């Protein structure tokens, strides 16, 4: 403990000083409070209130929404996967690591097919639910299968993070008893294609695990993920038969869930569609706020086009004091399915009249997790919990044949599901979600033999869609905004057949309702939400933290490259820089490269950008690239970056941060151009460029917020 020498101040002097240091009125106490607050802010560096209480959401949650509403969920599950397999009698585990839900869906499909087609007891396992080291305890008589996705700069999904860290560093563990197979989901538009599965396989092999077959990989850039998975799956099943001696049995649906009606329950007991993200992997949960109902305070169109729509929406956080955001974060919107598809599915299943009957979902298999809140109802399941608008894959089409109401319908589904070319040709002219498929296969009868449990197990669950926040938390702290392009595409061989993106068209319907207008395509949604929770133009949403951030120093130069709605976070960045300049702080030079079709149609935020450019007094340069401007050749942002190579290199040398936002293919092309520019201007080799690239990314001087 530190000690201090006596100052030997005379008592008389201390008494005199106390007259001036003791508060004597309200003004003195107020001044002390302000000084104390300023001191606390300085000493804490903002930690006291810059970060919300991580447990604050508990005050706002309905207890019945937790853990899917299941009784007994308080019993702590084991985190030892070998023990779990032993307790549940499983001899094959399919681990999954998924960000968007695709890998998770593949894992569930694979485990179910292993069970019904090969008679093997299989389970799925979220990688974040188990301690990674416990895979070393899986005995040699059992198998492990890994289905993992890669996104961004070779990053693992949130629920893979703990396993990723362990497999990358473990050295004193033996996996000599582990037999495994692995499949990765990736996209060649990203620089590190399928890096996660490569790292996982390398780590498993290093620790002595034995691979049953070569690693499988899917490439979403070619739209081949589904077929890549099915091809690899058949190779895996050939290994089952030829190497492991498994006997194939007649495929027949064996439910792992039970969905039954319980009319003794009252509406107040049910989950009517309220979403929750509190069961996410720990990493994802730590980065996200809880889901709340938020009002849309303003919505406006950004495109000057009759057939294309882009929305700017301001969302109001005033009613949710525990929610906050920072510039560069994402807003997640939880959509509802369109009425036409909900009604179509209820009708074709023959349960339209029983849509509101209370349903209880129970696990028949102890290894099965119930992820839909229970009790609930059919209308809630189809409107808010299942992705009923997504295309139906060949595996599911083939499985549905066993429930066909007529021999002709069964033959139709088998022909479509078993032949790759027939399926491929069909989907180029017809959008086949589940309801449409069943209507096409047998329009004259209802499919009342399809168990609801099958649909709950088979269809993907609705997930939120993430939008880059296009406002600055400094300028607009309680009203984050998003920029959403409305997705409507036509089929290659049938231009009249339109496919409407679920969430963006849901937002368009809300925007049109505020103007007392209909959706341009006549699509309707239950916009009031479950139990009228969204009445008055509200949405279910949550904030997700992002690493896509401005540098701490306002004088740091910025190079920003965006295409389309990728401009959203840069609108926020530039707005914040304007505010920094307004209060007298130094602001560094900036270049914004922005690409769209034409200046007349979709140059969004043009007036705002030009106003901010004027306010910044020459500190912002806007460089445009138009791909469909009449009378001029197509130009893309990567072309403009190459044209201004000297300026780009100079700013990089001056310490500029480099940002990219938009599609992954665009980001890849821009990075190629920058790499070639550095080689040309600086005389570097490709090895030197790669080393430089790794260094600046590690320092967060190069950041990307990309998709697709």
Do 232 and 261 have their domain in common? no
- Tell me if 569 is assigned to some domain: yes
- SS3 at position 505: helix
Do 275 and 164 have their domain in common? no
In percent, the amount of the chain with pLDDT more than 70 equals 89
Confidence of residue 54 (pLDDT cuts 50, 70, 90): very low
Task: State the pLDDT at residue 23.
Answer: 53
pTM of this prediction? 0.85
CA distance 665 to 189: 5
CATH number at residue 694: 3.40.50.80
CA distance 66 to 224: 37
- The two tokens of residue 663 are 């599609």
- pLDDT tens for 28-49 read 555 555 455 545 444 444 433 3
Q: Which residue matches tokens 């029983």?
A: 354
pLDDT at 130 over 50: yes
CA distance 412 to 415: 5
List the domain range (segments joined by +) for residue 167: 81-242
| 225-226-232-234 Cα dihedral, nearest 10 degrees | -170
Do 235 and 267 have their domain in common? no
Q: Which residues, other chains included, contact 266 with Cβ-Cβ below 8 Å and sequence gap of 6+?
A: none
Q: Are 288 and 542 in contact (CB under 8 A)?
A: yes
Mean pLDDT of 234-259: 93
- Tell me if 314 is assigned to some domain: no
CATH number at residue 432: 1.20.990.10
Task: State the pLDDT at residue 17.
Answer: 43
- pLDDT tens for 663-692 read 989 999 999 999 999 999 999 999 999 999
* Eight-class DSSP state of 475: T
Task: State the pLDDT at residue 50.
Answer: 40
Do 268 and 399 have their domain in common? yes
Confidence of residue 486 (pLDDT cuts 50, 70, 90): very high
Beta bridge partners, 217, equal 184
Mean residue pLDDT across the chain = 89
Task: State the pLDDT at residue 315.
Answer: 98
Task: State the pLDDT at residue 397.
Answer: 96
Task: State the pLDDT at residue 37.
Answer: 52
CA distance 480 to 571: 12
CA distance 506 to 526: 10
Using alpha carbons, select from 501, 502, 503, 499 the residue that is nearest to residue 491: 499
- Residue 609's alpha-carbon distances to 89, 309, 615, in angstroms, are 62, 20, 10
- Tell me if 68 is assigned to some domain: no
- pLDDT tens for 395-423 read 999 999 999 999 999 999 999 999 999 99
CA distance 271 to 265: 11
Confidence of residue 72 (pLDDT cuts 50, 70, 90): very low
Q: Are 186 and 157 in contact (CB under 8 A)?
A: no
- Tell me if 573 is assigned to some domain: yes
Burial class of 20 by CB neighbour count within 10 A (0 to 12, 13 to 18, 19+): exposed
- The two tokens of residue 362 are 């129970």
Confidence of residue 25 (pLDDT cuts 50, 70, 90): low
Task: State the pLDDT at residue 15.
Answer: 54
Do 269 and 391 have their domain in common? yes
Q: Which residue matches tokens 């130009």?
A: 635
Do 207 and 267 have their domain in common? no
The domain boundary residue, chosen from 187, 217, 242: 242
Do 370 and 417 have their domain in common? yes
pLDDT at 660 over 80: yes
Confidence of residue 65 (pLDDT cuts 50, 70, 90): very low
Do 441 and 343 have their domain in common? yes
- Tell me if 421 is assigned to some domain: yes
- Tell me if 394 is assigned to some domain: yes
The domain boundary residue, chosen from 458, 491, 524: 458
CA distance 274 to 279: 14
Q: Which residues, other chains included, contact 611 with Cβ-Cβ below 8 Å and sequence gap of 6+?
A: none
Q: Are 531 and 564 in contact (CB under 8 A)?
A: no
Do 571 and 683 have their domain in common? yes
Mean pLDDT of 607-613: 97
Do 575 and 635 have their domain in common? yes
Do 184 and 275 have their domain in common? no
Confidence of residue 695 (pLDDT cuts 50, 70, 90): very high
- Tell me if 689 is assigned to some domain: yes
Structural domains in the chain (count): 3
Q: Where are the alpha helices (DSSP H) in 389-442?
A: 394-400, 407-418, 420-427, 434-441
Phi, psi angle pair for 558, to nearest 5°:
-130, 135
Going by their DSSP bridges, the two strands 257-261 and 359-363 should be labelled as antiparallel
Q: Are 97 and 159 in contact (CB under 8 A)?
A: yes
CATH number at residue 219: 3.40.50.360
- pLDDT tens for 300-345 read 999 988 889 999 999 999 999 999 999 999 999 999 999 999 999 9
The domain boundary residue, chosen from 401, 424, 458: 458
Do 273 and 220 have their domain in common? no
- pLDDT tens for 173-228 read 999 999 999 999 998 888 888 999 999 999 999 999 999 999 999 998 878 899 99
Q: Which residues, other chains included, contact 172 with Cβ-Cβ below 8 Å and sequence gap of 6+?
A: none
Beta bridge partners, 373, equal none
Confidence of residue 465 (pLDDT cuts 50, 70, 90): very high
Among the residue ranges 196-200, 493-497, 516-520, the one predicted with the least confidence is 493-497
CA distance 195 to 569: 27
Q: Which residues, other chains included, contact 395 with Cβ-Cβ below 8 Å and sequence gap of 6+?
A: 109, 113, 230, 417
- Tell me if 112 is assigned to some domain: yes
CA distance 582 to 266: 57
């Amino acid at each position: 403990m530190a000690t201090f020498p006596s100052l030997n101040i005379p008592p008389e002097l201390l008494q005199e000083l106390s007259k001036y240091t003791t508060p004597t009125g309200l003004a003195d106490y107020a001044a002390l409070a302000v000084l104390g607050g300023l001191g606390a802010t300085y000493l804490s560096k903002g930690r006291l209130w810059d970060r919300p209480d991580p447990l604050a959401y508990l005050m706002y949650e309905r207890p019945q929404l937790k853990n899917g509403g299941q009784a007994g969920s308080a019993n702590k599950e084991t985190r030892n996967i070998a023990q779990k397999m032993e307790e549940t009698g499983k001899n094959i585990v399919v681990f999954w690591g998924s960000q968007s839900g695709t890998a998770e869906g593949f894992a569930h499909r694979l485990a179910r097919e292993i069970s019904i087609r090969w008679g093997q007891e299989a389970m799925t396992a979220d990688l974040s639910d188990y301690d990674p080291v416990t895979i070393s305890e899986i005995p040699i008589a059992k198998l492990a299968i890994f289905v993992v996705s890669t996104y961004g700069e070779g990053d693992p999904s949130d629920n893979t993070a703990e396993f990723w860290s362990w497999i990358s560093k473990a050295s004193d563990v033996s996996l000599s008893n582990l037999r495994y197979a692995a499949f990765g989901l990736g996209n060649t538009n990203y620089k590190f294609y399928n890096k996660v599965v490569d790292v996982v396989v390398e780590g498993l092999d290093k620790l002595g695990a034995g691979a049953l077959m070569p690693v499988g990989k899917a490439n979403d850039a070619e739209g081949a993920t589904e077929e890549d998975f099915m091809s690899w799956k058949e190779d895996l099943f050939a290994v089952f038969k030829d190497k492991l001696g498994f006997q194939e049995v007649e495929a027949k649906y064996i439910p792992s869930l039970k969905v039954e009606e319980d009319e003794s329950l009252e509406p107040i007991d049910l989950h009517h569609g309220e979403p929750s993200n509190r069961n996410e992997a720990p990493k994802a949960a730590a980065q996200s706020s809880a889901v709340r109902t938020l009002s849309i305070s303003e919505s406006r169109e950004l495109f000057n086009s009759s057939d294309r729509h882009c929305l700017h929406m301001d969302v109001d956080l005033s009613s949710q004091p525990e929610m906050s955001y920072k510039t560069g974060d994402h807003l997640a919107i939880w959509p509802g399915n369109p009425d036409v598809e909900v009604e179509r599915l209820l009708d074709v299943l023959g349960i339209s009249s029983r849509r509101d009957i209370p349903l209880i979902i129970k696990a028949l298999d102890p290894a099965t997790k119930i992820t839909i809140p229970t009790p609930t109802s059919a209308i809630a399941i189809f409107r808010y919990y299942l992705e009923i608008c997504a295309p139906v894959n060949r595996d599911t089409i083939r499985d549905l044949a066993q429930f066909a109401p007529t021999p002709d319908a069964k033959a139709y589904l088998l022909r479509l599901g078993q032949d790759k070319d027939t399926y491929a040709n069909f989907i180029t002219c017809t959008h086949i979600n589940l309801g449409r498929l069943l209507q096409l296969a047998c329009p004259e009868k209802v499919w009342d033999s399809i168990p609801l449990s099958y649909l709950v197990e088979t269809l993907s669950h609705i997930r939120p869609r993430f939008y880059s926040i296009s406002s600055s938390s400094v300028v607009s702290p309680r009203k984050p905004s998003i920029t959403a392009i409305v997705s409507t595409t036509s089929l290659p061989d049938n231009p009249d057949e339109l496919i409407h993106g679920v969430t963006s068209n849901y937002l368009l319907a809300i925007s049109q309702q505020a103007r007392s207008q209909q959706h341009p395509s006549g699509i309707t949604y239950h916009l009031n939400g479950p139990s009228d929770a969204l009445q008055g133009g509200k949405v279910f949403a949550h904030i997700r933290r992002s690493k896509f951030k401005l540098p701490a120093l306002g004088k740091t130069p910025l190079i920003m490259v965006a295409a389309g709605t990728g401009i959203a976070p840069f609108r926020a960045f530039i707005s914040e820089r304007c505010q920094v300049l307004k209060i007298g702080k130094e602001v560094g030079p900036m270049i914004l490269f922005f690409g769209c079709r034409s200046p007349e149609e979709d140059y969004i935020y043009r007036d705002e950008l030009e106003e901010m450019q004027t306010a910044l007094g020459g500190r912002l340069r806007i460089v445009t690239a138009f791909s469909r401007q009449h009378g001029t050749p197509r130009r893309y942002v990567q072309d403009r970056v190459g044209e201004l190579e000297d300026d780009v290199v100079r700013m990089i040398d001056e310490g500029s941060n480099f940002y990219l936002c938009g599609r992954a293919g665009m980001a890849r092309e821009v990075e190629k151009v920058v790499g070639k520019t550095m080689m040309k201007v600086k005389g570097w080799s490709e090895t030197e460029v790669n080393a430089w690239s790794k260094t600046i990314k590690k320092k967060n001087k190069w950041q990307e917020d990309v998709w697709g």
